[in-house]
Amino acid sequence: KNQVEQSPQSLIILEGKNCTLQCNYTVSPFSNLRWYKQDTGRGPVSLTIMTFSENTKSNGRYTATLDADTKQSSLHITASQLSDSASYICVPYFGNEKLTFGTGTRLTIIP
């Protein structure tokens, strides 16, 4: 079973609206957790990185939160734009160990 489950699998929202993507993980402990954006046909690009002790981290319109007690992370996107259409992947990262990729959420922004 994948140790990193994301929800929803896919999401369609109107341009300008906000949305929140969820990540539940069992991988523990980890040194940091990253959210990646992967455009279709492209490699993943890091959006945010949080250490185990951080609760929130922002990068422009992207805000990630982390609750180590419940082993949940979320990515909130504010004022969505058409260019936000992509897959978003949650990745807990622990040094030299194998990266465990989340199942991903496919986000589609419609005008």
Partner 1 sequence: GAVVSQHPSWVICKSGTSVKIECRSLDFQATTMFWYRQFPKQSLMLMATSNEGSKATYEQGVEKDKFLINHASLTLSTLTVTSAHPEDSSFYICSASPDRGRRSYTFGSGTRLTVV
Residue numbers at the binding site for partner 1 (CB under 8 A): 2, 34, 41-46, 49, 89, 93, 95-99, 101-104, 106
For the CB of residue 11, give the shortest distance to partner 1 in the complex, in Å: 14
Backbone angles phi, psi at 43, to 5 degrees: -80, 160
Judged by beta carbon, residue 44 or residue 65, the one nearer partner 1 is 44
Judged by beta carbon, residue 19 or residue 44, the one nearer partner 1 is 44
For the CB of residue 69, give the shortest distance to partner 1 in the complex, in Å: 25
Judged by beta carbon, residue 41 or residue 111, the one nearer partner 1 is 41
* Nearest CA-CA partner of 35 in 110, 82, 87: 87
For the CB of residue 43, give the shortest distance to partner 1 in the complex, in Å: 4
Distances (CA, A) of 76 to 13, 80, 94: 13, 10, 23
Judged by beta carbon, residue 63 or residue 92, the one nearer partner 1 is 92
Backbone angles phi, psi at 83, to 5 degrees: -70, -10
Could you tell me which residues are beta bridge partners of residue 14?
A: 110
For the CB of residue 97, give the shortest distance to partner 1 in the complex, in Å: 7
